[in-house]
């Protein structure tokens, strides 16, 4: 399917939503954001460049009860906590999207876009990747893969 046609359950109520992307570089995160969640605030290091600017953007979203997407690799539970703890405390619904992270496929996609990320960095992020768990505070979790038609989204089954 080209777009995520079914909104996650938590998006149907009035609570603000924090969407946390998890996946290595060039796994489709930003394209998925652009196709499905561009109406949400976009928090990402590619455009903000520093953790301080990222923190300010997050605090601004939470203060205004605005839904946001944390579009970074977020490979570890600790990385994800920086968004989840303040959002959960403010009454947000927390939805995670775990992107299929196959290093060889991400390297190919990265090369097609001009090799923006060193291959070694992609492999390093893959080595740090911790599978998401509901116990982290997610209300919903989804698995995203890229197929020939676009993205395929399925409810994430924790191994």
pLDDT digits (tens, 9 = 90+) for 138-149: 999 999 999 877
CATH of 15-155, one of 3.20.20.70, 3.40.50.720, 3.90.79.10, 3.40.50.300: 3.40.50.300
Q: What is the mean pLDDT of residues 38-56?
A: 91
Residue 49's contacts (CB-CB under 8 Å, 6 or more residues apart) are: none
Nearest in space to 24 (alpha carbons), one of 159, 94, 119, 135: 119
pTM to 2 decimal places: 0.88
* Mean predicted confidence (pLDDT) in 3-11: 50
- Give yes or no for residue 115 having a pLDDT over 90: no
Q: Report helix, strand and coil shares of the chain as percent, to nearest 5.
A: 40, 20, 40
> Tell me, what's the pLDDT at 112?
86
- Report the pLDDT value the prediction gives residue 8, as an integer from 0 to 100: 57
Average model confidence (pLDDT) across the chain:
89
């Amino acid at each position: 399917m080209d777009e995520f046609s079914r909104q996650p359950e938590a998006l149907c109520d009035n609570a603000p939503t924090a969407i946390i992307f998890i996946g290595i570089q060039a796994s489709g995160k930003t394209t998925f954001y652009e196709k499905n969640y561009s109406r949400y605030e976009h928090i990402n290091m590619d455009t903000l460049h520093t953790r301080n600017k990222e923190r300010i953007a997050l605090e601004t979203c939470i203060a205004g009860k605005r839904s946001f997407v944390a579009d970074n690799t977020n490979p570890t539970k600790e990385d994800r906590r920086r968004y989840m703890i303040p959002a959960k405390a403010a009454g947000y619904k927390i939805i995670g999207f775990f992107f299929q992270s196959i290093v060889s496929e991400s390297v190919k996609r990265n090369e097609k876009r001009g090799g923006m990320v060193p291959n070694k960095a992609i492999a390093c992020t893959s080595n740090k990747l911790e599978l998401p768990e509901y116990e982290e505070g997610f209300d919903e979790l989804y698995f995203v893969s890229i197929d020939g038609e676009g993205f395929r989204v399925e409810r994430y089954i924790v191994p």
